[in-house]
Amino acid sequence: MNSKASNADLAPEGLPRHVAIIMDGNGRWAKKRLLNRVRGHEKGADAVRGIVRTCRELKIQVLTLYAFSTENWQRPASEIKALMGLLKKFLTEEEQQLTKNNIRLEVIGQPQRLPDDVQAIIRQVRGATAANDGLVLNLALSYGGRTEIVEMVRTIAAKAAAGTLQPEAIDEALVADHLYTRHLPDPDLMIRTSGEMRISNFLLWQLAYAELFVTPTLWPDFSPEEFIAILKDYQQRERRFGKVPAQPES
């Protein structure tokens, strides 16, 4: 089904600016079919294409995908190699589409830890899409929320030690300015597939006020239609940011 067909009653003004997704369940998807885990990741890469397309069609500003965590380095070398290969294949195949569709690639995490050929294709696609001002496809690669916070603290502490920053000047905005996401709005909606009720070291600071949605669907089965249904649910929620609901004037 074309995702456009089912998004008719989504209010464009009430869409999240930034959607973040923990794409979980590739391994279980493969296991259920007695397939190698890598097949699950391959199907997962196909699901990514559909969700990127839907975000572009809906004019969502930022889509952050948790594609590889700092903890994922502890997986078997063969799985890491396959994931890196998939990432390279995805970026190589999608460069033209991203460029043509005004999508800008960004990366958060520690891309310097990735294999050289993956770093090279990231540089290539980031360069090719740098001037695009439509959807930002933000890939979290070798990303860990705690590592991000440690790096932020180190940078701020170094500035304080050098005397270029007064401790009193440290506030929420300054902290946010020293995170990987400094150029992006905080996520409004965080979706996790495969039913796990955890945030797994993902965007620890940035998710402070995000609406959370956990679906039992395994990532390779996550469709644009389900994504749109979640966006409809999001539009029904009242975001209060810790305040009381708006009262009519008496």
Among 87, 103, 107, 118, binds ligand FPP (CB under 6 A): 87
Contact characters 122-151, ligand FPP, x per CB under 6 A = -----------------x------------
Question: Catalytic pick from 9, 26, 46, 72?
Answer: 72
Residue 156 binding ligand FPP, by CB under 6 A: no
Report how far residue 63's alpha carbon sits from residue 125's, in angstroms, rounded to the nearest whole number: 16
Residue 140 Cβ vs ligand FPP, minimum distance, rounded to whole Å? 9
Binding residue (CB under 6 A) for ligand FPP from 3, 24, 105, 202: 24
**Any contact of residue 106 with ligand FPP (CB under 6 A)?**
no
184 part of the interface to ligand FPP, by CB under 6 A: no
Q: Residue 39, SS3?
A: helix
Distance CA 135, CA 140 (A): 16
Q: Which residue, 28 or 178, has its beta carbon nearer to ligand FPP?
A: 28
User: Considering the complex, what minimum distance in angstroms separates the CB of residue 38 from ligand FPP?
Assistant: 10
d(CA 203, CA 161): 27
β-pairing, 104-109 with 62-69? unpaired
The answer to whether 181 and 210 are in contact (CB under 8 A) is no
- 8 Å CB contact between 137 and 109: no
Residue in the structure block whose two tokens are 């039992």: 216
Q: Choose, from 2, 7, 9, 24, the residue flagged as catalytic.
A: 24
Tell the burial category of 228 from Cβ atoms under 10 Å away from its Cβ (0-12, 13-18, 19+): buried
Active site residue 24: yes
Question: Would you say 45 or 136 has its CB closer to ligand FPP?
Answer: 45
Residue among 104, 87, 89, 190 nearest 145 (CA): 190
The two tokens of residue 202 are 């993902």
Which position among 19, 38, 48, 210 is part of the footprint of ligand FPP (CB under 6 A)?
48
- Which positions are catalytic? 24, 72
Interaction site with ligand FPP (CB under 6 A): 23-28, 41, 44-45, 48, 65, 67, 72, 83, 86-87, 90, 139, 194, 219
